[in-house]
Amino acid sequence: MMYEAQRALASPVRNPRMATVIGRLLGAAFLVCFGTGLYSHFLQEPQDWMRFATRPEYLYQVTQGTHIIAGIACFPLLLAKLYIVFPDLFAYPPLQGFVHFLERASIALFVGASLVQITIGLLNTYQWYPWPFPFRQVHFALGWVLIGLLVIHIGVKLPIIARYWSKSSGSGDDSGDDDHLVDAVSADRASHAEAVRLSGASRPGGVTGRVLDYIDATPQVTSRVSRRGFLTTVGVATTAVVGLTAGQTFTPLNAVNLFAPRKKGVGQQGVPVNRTSEQAKVADAAMASSWTLTLAVSGTERSFTRAELLALPQTEVRLPIACVEGWSQMANWRGVRLRDLAEMMNAAPETAFRLISLEQRGSFSKTQMGSEYVRDPLTLVALELNGETLDLEHGYPARMIAPGRPGVLQTKWLSRIEAIS
Amino acid sequence: MTRPDADGSGHETSRLGMRAHKNAVGPNPGDGSTERVGNGLNPPPAGITPSSGRRMRNIRLVLVGGGVLLMAWGALVMFDSVRPARIPGVALWIAAAIVLHDGIVAPIVLAGGIALRRAGRRITGTVVVIVQSGIVVGSIVSLIAVPTLVAKNFAPANPTVLPLNYGLNLGIFWVVLAAVTVGLSVWAFLRGRHPAETFPDDSGR
């Protein structure tokens, strides 16, 4: 029965060479997602010893845009990989001892966790959370689990991967002979006809027999057409899902941005918004005339009204706001260099700062900024955006903007900036 | 044994090879089984020696061991950062994903492929594959586009989230895809009717 299921599933694309070809693309996408994900994670939760590059100023736009693009590319690639190895599900006997059990269990977990990881990642970009667990923590933990499972998988399959890595090493070999994957040739109707003849049955009996007979009566597409068609399909599908969404971060594709959750230029002052003043419950405090920005360095405190900040030397910078959700938007910002304010307060050059928002709750209402960003001449306490007074939704009266940092760390509705001793 | 043209470079030699290959399988299963034995039992290809076999084993052990450590670290991170009451939810989603794929999506894809091939038994294999590709590409794009429609129903946090008319865009995408698929199918069908221009293995059955 299991053999018959495997035979029914046989197809010219279900061979170890194809599994290797698609598998290494998928593996590369996983590694890219993991690397860029780790970078984003440590930007948000740095260890004390960590220092980050502030140039190029679009660094985070690229790394996080890539994270989302590679994650979206995983949908067609993962489905293609699962299509190729689907007959393995019906391996018979189902279990051949404890090691085989562990291998199959690791594959099951790998498949399930991969599907969950890319699904919750995609839905997070829509800000839709229909699951009963916290996104950020689970996405991060699953990232480690998946990389572990990927390394195990590569270890387990290494002989197959090595043998089918290049086309010349018996790859296109149609017998596709492998313990785990069904070869295409055995699916040939001739072999079935022979089996029927040998078993002496003229008509198949039972439901299974009839189903398999129906399948066997199906015209086969030739191997080469199947394989070319399959690879073309995977290529076109991957190009489509990436090409039709990447415009949210990659400007040349903006015109064909059909399905991304963000659109460049859509938002107050031409910049999309993530957390609103309503969500943050800051509107009253932000619009109050009594608002001041307080700087605190080693016991000394000084408060600035917005007018006082505007009276200080102003700098204009062109920096992208790049969100952890993968979208980004270039904008012109104008305000006071944080470095100037730090010098005014006699802060030592190596000082890191804590940025505190008017927002009372929320995971990013208090964040840290390493000294490399504080010293950077592009880092501003921004007061204007694209030539206008900063919109409330963009952090009025004042917000941070620094090169190469995730949007959640570009603290809006600033209230207090203090040196970390 | 001839080698089918797996990368689709489509040179004349591989076309001829393909024809020879077609003749070799089926009526003469001995050919395939010889190949199988050749790959399975004969000395491994040049470059693989007993010492490189040991090396392969060591690399595999290191990979599996390292992978287990990474997984354990991930589990530790999970238990450290997620409240224990929430973790069964993660397990449930993973289990549900497996059931959804292996139990529902994959059988539907299989049945769809078979139905399409049977429906198209009088046309060339190339046309069947083109139509199949069109359906698969449309389905995968829909897979990432349909959640936007659902999420938009839950009133996004602000108007800059999900600002596009995704239903219209998906409709446009399907129309363009259908037009391209039909165009390519007609082209392949017409080409298939002129044997002189046909690849020997494109004729289907």
Which residues 90-149 on chain A approach chain B with CB closer than 8 angstroms?
108-109, 111-113, 115-116, 119-120, 122-123, 126-128, 131-134, 137-138, 140-149
Residue B138 DSSP class: H
Task: Looking at the structure, tell me whether residues B126 and B203 fall in a common domain.
Answer: yes
Buried b (16+ CB within 10 A) or exposed e, A237-252: bbebbbbbbbbbbbee
Q: Does A272 touch chain B (CB under 8 A)?
A: yes
Tens digits of residue pLDDT in A25-76: 999 999 999 999 999 999 999 998 999 999 999 999 999 999 999 999 999 9
Cβ within 8 Å of residue A285, ≥6 positions away: A291, A358, A413, A415
Chain A contact set for B4 (CB, 8 A): 172, 174, 223-224, 227
DSSP 3-state percent helix, strand, coil across chain B (nearest 5)? 75, 0, 25
Sequence-distant (6+) residues with CB within 8 A of B67 are A147, A148, A149, A150, A151, A152, A153, A154, A155
Q: Are residues B62 and B131 in the same domain?
A: no
pLDDT given for residue A176 in this prediction: 39
- Whether residue A337 contacts residue A80, with contact meaning beta carbons closer than 8 Å, is answered with no
Q: Which domain holds residue B71?
A: 49-81
Q: Are residues B125 and B189 in the same domain?
A: yes
Q: Give burial (CB, 10 Å; 0-12/13-18/19+) of A289.
A: exposed
pLDDT of the residue at A203? 54
* Residue A377 C-alpha, separation from nearest chain B C-alpha, in angstroms: 30
pLDDT tens-digit map of B184-193: 999 988 887 7
- Best of A126, A158, A221 to substitute, by most chain B Cβ atoms within 10 angstroms, is A221
Question: Does pTM top 0.90 for this prediction?
Answer: no
Angle between the A98-125 and A135-163 helix axes, to the nearest 10 degrees? 130
- Residue B104: inside a domain: no
Geometric angle at alpha carbon A123, from A117 and A124, rounded to 5°: 85
Give how far Cα A11 sits from Cα of A18, A194, B9, B120, B147, Å: 11, 19, 21, 17, 31
d(CA A76, CA A97) in angstroms, rounded, equals 33
Question: Class of the A269-420 domain?
Answer: alpha beta
What number does CATH give the domain A2-187+221-246?
A: 1.20.950
Mark which residues 20-59 of A lie under 8 Å from B by CB.
none
The pLDDT value given to residue B198: 40
Predicted confidence at residue A168, as pLDDT, reads 65
**Whole-number pLDDT of residue B156:** 77
Residues in chain A, pLDDT under 70: 168-205, 216-220
Q: Which of residues 346-375 of A touch B (CB under 8 A)?
A: none
Which residue does chain B place closest to A75, by CA atoms?
B140
Predicted confidence (pLDDT) per residue in B49-86, tens digit: 667 889 999 999 999 999 999 999 999 999 999 999 99
Output the DSSP codes for A79-107.
HHHHHHHGGGGG-SSS--SHHHHHHHHHH
| Structural domain count, chain B | 3
ipTM, two decimals = 0.87
Same domain, B55 and B15: no
For chains A and B, CB pairs below 8 A equal 306
Task: Return the residue matching tokens 């010219």.
Answer: A12
Per CB-CB distance under 8 Å, the chain A contacts of B118 are 217-219
Residues B161, A127 contacting (CB under 8 angstroms): yes
How is residue A189 written in tokens? 């109707």
Q: Is residue B107 part of a domain?
A: no
* Alpha-carbon gap: B127 to the closest alpha carbon of chain A (Å): 10
Q: How far apart are CA A301 and CA A299, in angstroms?
A: 6
Residue in chain B closest to A191 (alpha carbons) equals B26
